[in-house]
Structure 1
Amino acid sequence: MRRQSFTDDTVDYAAVGATQAHDLMQYPPEKSLPAEDAWRIGSGEERFTAASEQLLAWGPLRGGDLRISDVRPAGGPGYTGVAFDAEGAPVAPSRLDADQRFDADGTPFVSAGAGVRLHGRVDGHRADAELRVISVIEEPRRVGYILGTVGHSLVSGEELFVLEWRDNDEVWFIVRAFDRPTAPTYRLFKSRVRRRRRALFTRYLRAISPLYAS
């Protein structure tokens, strides 16, 4: 499933796109721990649009003890990333590439194939990692992306962030992930991986939802 722009710093796991599979919790990639959660964060088009902008500006990875640096858009022209169907099989990208967008401080928005460095601490342990944007979803009522680990992390795996503006007008924020422990202490004590994941989910929700923050 690798594309040309993955030649430098390819992801460090094999099950690319597995967070898209609806049976992830029952059948996670080998030796990995799956996790998922969903929260209603408001309702209406205005809420969906604002949350989408925040999500695409790396919102979950910013704030608190987490920060990002060295955001590198994909180098090759015309790269549109990998897209997946509901079962996790690769299909045509959901969006053709467009002009790169930037947030208020000049950081490039999330784009397919982009790389980013994560810094900080979670649950008392470092959260430093190199990440790659595997796929970006930008549809009228659904926005999100998949991040995969490239290296230098305590775990190896993937995260899916999705915002949905549902037919009942509710806006939902959904996160799905799987983690394969790479640090020796995490391989020995799987409960630490699960605790780390819960702490990350809490941070992600706080970053996206004003309801949670209040």
Structure 2
Amino acid sequence: MTGRPLSDAEVERLRGAPFTYSDVGSTRTGAMPDGYGVLLRSVVVGSGPERFERASQAVLRWDMHRRAGLTVRPSNDPVALGTVAVVRLGPGPLGLDAPVRVVYLVDEPRRQGFAYGTLPGHPERGEEAFVVELQADGSVTFTITAFSRPATLVARLTGPVGRRIQSLVTNRYLRAV
């Protein structure tokens, strides 16, 4: 789902906001920081160059998020380095806004994707990467790598329920690609 576009003021505020964690880029290196829950999920989404292209576009154009039932208000579509977005989970006044900024892009002939990091106002602290890869055998894999921990009192109070919600959203992402 697409919400109202971000205003210029919102884009400027989010681009200037600090990340809410210090280990920016750790999903790229695989060296996950201590004190965070770590998630690594991968699934084969098909085979061949055409499937790789479609899956890559689903990730880079925010379709994965939208197909997973989230509302996305990005500053750029497709994703670019420095893109900011407000991702919203849930309807109306019960929904949670999750501001993020893209920390890096993966733009290789056989690997496409990006990672974003959390900004102030996000219920969690951490980073999440979404990468599509065309393997040597022709299979296409989609991998989500993340580390996070609660950033707000509400997120801390949800405990295992919050982790379950994160797992459900991850499953939706995997199915959406």
TM range (shorter): 0.7 to 0.9
**TM-score, structure 1 as length reference:** 0.69
Matched, 1:39 2:43: yes
> Structure 1 residue aligned with 2:18, among 10, 30, 33?
10
Give the aligned partner of residue 135 of structure 1. 104
Contact 1:156-1:180 at 8 Å conserved across structures: yes
Unaligned runs of 5+ in 2: 1-13
In the TM superposition, residue 187 of structure 1 has moved relative to its aligned partner by 2.4
**Pair 115,185 (structure 1): closer, same or farther in 2 beyond 3 Å:** closer
Identity of aligned residues (%): 31
**Pair 121,22 (structure 1): closer, same or farther in 2 beyond 3 Å:** same
> Structure 2 residue aligned with 1:156, among 122, 125, 139?
125
Matched, 1:145 2:148: no
In the TM superposition, residue 23 of structure 1 has moved relative to its aligned partner by 4.6
Give the aligned partner of residue 181 of structure 1. 150
Matches within 5 A, 1:15-34: 15-24=23-32, 29-34=33-38
Task: Find the aligned partners of 1:127 and 1:205 in 2 and give their Cα distance.
Answer: 21
Contact 1:186-1:192 at 8 Å conserved across structures: no
Give the aligned partner of residue 89 of structure 1. none
SS at match of 1:62: helix
Task: Find the aligned partners of 1:51 and 1:151 in 2 and give their Cα distance.
Answer: 30
Task: Find the aligned partners of 2:80 and 2:31 in 1 and give their Cα distance.
Answer: 26
> Structure 2 residue aligned with 1:111, among 61, 80, 91?
80
Contact 2:15-2:84 at 8 Å conserved across structures: no
Task: Find the aligned partners of 1:52 and 1:174 in 2 and give their Cα distance.
Answer: 11
SS at match of 2:90: strand
**Pair 55,35 (structure 1): closer, same or farther in 2 beyond 3 Å:** same
SS at match of 2:148: strand
Give the aligned partner of residue 60 of structure 1. 64
Matches within 5 A, 1:165-180: 165-180=134-149
Instruction: Name the larger-Rg structure.
Output: 1
**Pair 173,17 (structure 1): closer, same or farther in 2 beyond 3 Å:** same
In the TM superposition, residue 7 of structure 1 has moved relative to its aligned partner by 6.3
Contact 2:100-2:122 at 8 Å conserved across structures: no
Q: How many residues align?
A: 162
In the TM superposition, residue 22 of structure 1 has moved relative to its aligned partner by 3.1
Q: Structure 1, residues 89-108: CA drift from partner, whole Å, max 9, x if none?
A: xxxxxxxxxxxxxxxxxxx2
In the TM superposition, residue 32 of structure 1 has moved relative to its aligned partner by 1.5
**TM-score, structure 2 as length reference:** 0.83
In the TM superposition, residue 142 of structure 1 has moved relative to its aligned partner by 0.4
Q: Structure 1, residues 126-155: CA drift from partner, whole Å, max 9, x if none?
A: 441111010011111000101111121221
Give the aligned partner of residue 104 of structure 1. none
Give the aligned partner of residue 50 of structure 1. 54
